[in-house]
Chains A and B, each alone.
Chain A
Amino acid sequence: MTVYDVKRRAFGEDAWSFPADDEALPQGPAAITKARFLRDRETLLARNAPLGLVLVAGETFDGIENDLNRFDLIALKFLRYADGRPYSLARLARERHGFKGKLRAIGDVLRDQITLMLRAGFDALQPTHEGTIAALRDGKIVTVDHYFQPATREEREEGGYAWRRRPA
């Protein structure tokens, strides 16, 4: 039970494998690095199983923008929770490149960041922090749900000004 699905509001088993670059791809859904994708693009796209992409903070979609929707999963790794680049990448994947698949946040995620992640377009979370896992499992996240800016997630326009939002 390692991955939290936002829509189902529950943890589930991870159907994806994350092979190293020099490892053969296993059967079933597999997520690979950008380097491997660029190296073996044709073979990978011809493969008859769901394909995922893993990006580490600092990497970008440069050069693969038009391929994003060939992936069923994009997993963005937070190196440190203070490194906020994946928030921008998530928004770009969804808003700029129209990515429709699962967007997963992996890493040392604190529960206090979860609302930000969801608003930035993530819909799956793979936290390592015990407290965060417990809080998600028990639905004990204390957070703010009045927002002062449009974001990626679908939300209601509410609050009297164009920039304000509430959860849908």
Chain B
Amino acid sequence: MYRYDEFDQSFVLERVAEFRDQVARRLSGELTEDQFKPLRLMNGVYLQLHAYMLRIAIPYGVLSSRQMRKLAHIAREYDKGYGHFTTRQNLQFNWVELARIPDLLAELAEVEMHALQTSGNCIRNVTADHFAGAAADEIVDPRPYAEILRQWSAIHPEFTYLPRKFKIAVTGAPHDRAAVQVHDIGLHAVRGPGGKTGFAVYVGGGQGRTPLIAHKVRDYLPEEDLLAYCEAILRVYNLEGRRDNKYKARIKILVHEKGKAEIAAAIEAEFAQLKGKTLNLPEADVQAISAYFAPPSLEQLAATSAALETAKAANKALERFVRHNVTAHRNAGYGVVTVSLKPIGEPPGDATAAQMEVVADVAERFSHSEIRVSHEQNLVLPHVKLDEIPALFAELAKHNLATPNAGLVTDIIACPGLDYCALANARSIPVAQRLSERFADIARQEEIGDLKIKISGCINACGHHHVGHIGLLGVDQKGKELYQITLGGSADEHTSIGEIIGPGFPTDKVVDAVEAVIDVYLGLRKGPEENFLDAYRRVGAEPFKAALYADA
């Protein structure tokens, strides 16, 4: 993985010093709250429902064991002993004191981390496929490009006060695990003429109150033009994006209002001026960054592991874990292991300091000290020998980290909701917990198959409900929590926005309603091989509406 050089280290330390100065000025009264707010946001500090919340950047979701241990330490020393992994591959601490944040950031800098640009109207933490560098279906490793973009976007002198936040996602496999079509810029790395790396470029996707799927503005952008093209997009957006209405300020609205053709032309015109100049990306630099992401030295092994097969035959729980939480690795004899942060009945994405330490330890023992954070709020150990999965499973199981539910109905995404978030209108976590308990039976989960439930506690859609196969949106109706159900959303290479199925359900009815939807699916599917999304796309909303609103 990427390691800071002296330049990066100096940069981060200077930034910590700068923020220390800003916090001191705020506490002394030199800065008012209005003046301080954008400065703290640019450093990831929010004022949430209960306290200050710090959002730490985990660039494209990649962590080392050493970094994870530091996060565990911070959870204990500066917070209440836990953290929340988010849908943007970040980590949030919910209870930090403002006066101590500069010290906390200095500790983070010791392990080459920061909280820079995890909020504010700037280019946010760049996200990527959480299986990058390991997945069998990968064509181009997106991490070097995500790293280059991370660097280029750091305190960008032109793009730090944009109309609104700006999110870039990169993927490099045909199956899109990074949801690039619902980002401000989505980059899909491909091999072009002569095997050279380039990008299909998508612009103007996003969720929030106006979910829109991005438009493809380029089929193939040569690698060397990556930064110049992004700068062109950002410049057009910075100058033309709406600033009169916060809710219409994202680039998706600009693209929607002006039309794809006009925006694409504006981007191309700006790009023509920038191409081949100072932002040209030299091949040698790409190679130097890519070298950091060279695969660890993996052994030549047989495709199947006799040890694992024997252990599976003797242990049904292990067999289930492997079936659901282990994905094909590009290297024979290895697997990509999903560590579930969705134990039955627990808040999705939360991990205690002790659990973080366990993951750091097992990553060290079994996965070359590498950990990934997925936007599905799980952790991933990217390079595990199949032979060692039984030992890994046993260790994870001891700490409630081996729930065999990756991709199943209890692998629920949920935002923090009204339990933590100042913007929320309704709670998300308790609904996720009750759904998880309702479907706790693993045999039933397996019968239901692939199903993504995503819950947001307000229209800002941090819980990605628009792209859930089943999405729940919490709203406040005269002081009562109400949940709207959307069906048919998806955030992969066949992205679609879920459709609102009808009036919302009160909190004591919503779990029954979701179960009713699932029962309808089970009743009408062609067979177990037709998953929920495919079945929904085949039959449409009507059968589900009929079941949910039979009495209406």
Contacts and interface: CB of A to CB of B under 8 A. Distances in A.
Contacts of A85: 238-239, 243
Nearest to B6: A159
B210 interface: no
B291 interface: no
A17 to B, nearest CB: 29
A161 B292 CA distance: 14
B522 interface: no
Nearest to A159: B7
Contact of B39 (A83, A96, A112, A148): A112
Contact of B38 (A82, A91, A129, A162): A82
A66 to B, nearest CB: 16
A100 interface: no
B30 interface: yes
B25 to A, nearest CB: 7
Interface string B130-171: 000000000000000000100111111111111000000000
Interface residues of B, number: 46
A83 B243 contact: yes
A57 B187 CA distance: 31
Contacts of B161: 81-84, 87, 113
B14 A145 contact: yes
A85 B154 CA distance: 18
Interface string A127-159: 001010000000000111111111110000011
Contacts of B22: 112
Interface in A76-113: 81-85, 87-89, 91, 96, 110, 112-113
A150 B159 contact: no
Nearest to B10: A146
A160 B288 contact: yes
B160 A84 contact: yes
B282 interface: yes
A58 B238 CA distance: 10
A149 B288 CA distance: 17
A34 interface: no
B21 A144 contact: no
Nearest to B35: A110
A148 B160 contact: no
Contact of B273 (A81, A96, A145): A96
B299 interface: no
A129 B235 CA distance: 27
Contacts of A91: 158
A159 B289 CA distance: 13
B15 interface: yes
B92 to A, nearest CB: 24
B227 interface: yes
Contacts of B25: 131
Q: Is the interface of A mostly helix, strand, loop or mixed?
A: loop
Nearest to B9: A146
B17 interface: yes
A120 interface: yes
B257 interface: no
Chain A: interface size category: 35 or more
Contacts of A161: 151, 285, 288-289
A73 B280 CA distance: 31
B281 A160 contact: no
B31 A131 contact: yes
A115 interface: yes
Contacts of A84: 121, 158-162, 238
B279 A150 contact: yes
B18 interface: yes
B278 interface: yes
Given A85-B239, A110-B39, A145-B14, A116 B157 contact: yes
B235 A149 contact: no
A146 B7 CA distance: 7
Contact of B18 (A96, A120, A143, A164): A143
A117 B157 CA distance: 7
Given A81-B161, A145-B14, A150 B278 contact: yes
B112 to A, nearest CB: 14
B121 A148 contact: no
B157 A87 contact: yes
Most buried by B among A81, A87, A120: A87
B5 interface: yes
A120 B14 contact: no
A167 to B, nearest CB: 12
A79 B227 CA distance: 29
A120 B158 contact: yes
B11 interface: yes
B7 A160 contact: yes
A120 B238 CA distance: 14
Nearest to B14: A144
A120 B161 CA distance: 13
B238 A87 contact: yes
Interface in B367-393: none
Nearest to B21: A142
10 contacts: A58-B243, A84-B121, A88-B238, A144-B18, A144-B155, A148-B155, A152-B157, A163-B148, A163-B279, A163-B281
Interface of B: 5, 7-8, 10-11, 14-15, 17-18, 20-22, 25, 30-31, 35, 38-39, 121, 148, 151-162, 227, 235, 238-239, 243, 273, 278-282, 285, 288-289
Given A112-B18, A120-B157, A148-B151, 11 more contacts: A81-B38, A82-B121, A84-B161, A147-B155, A148-B11, A149-B156, A151-B157, A151-B158, A159-B7, A162-B280, A163-B148
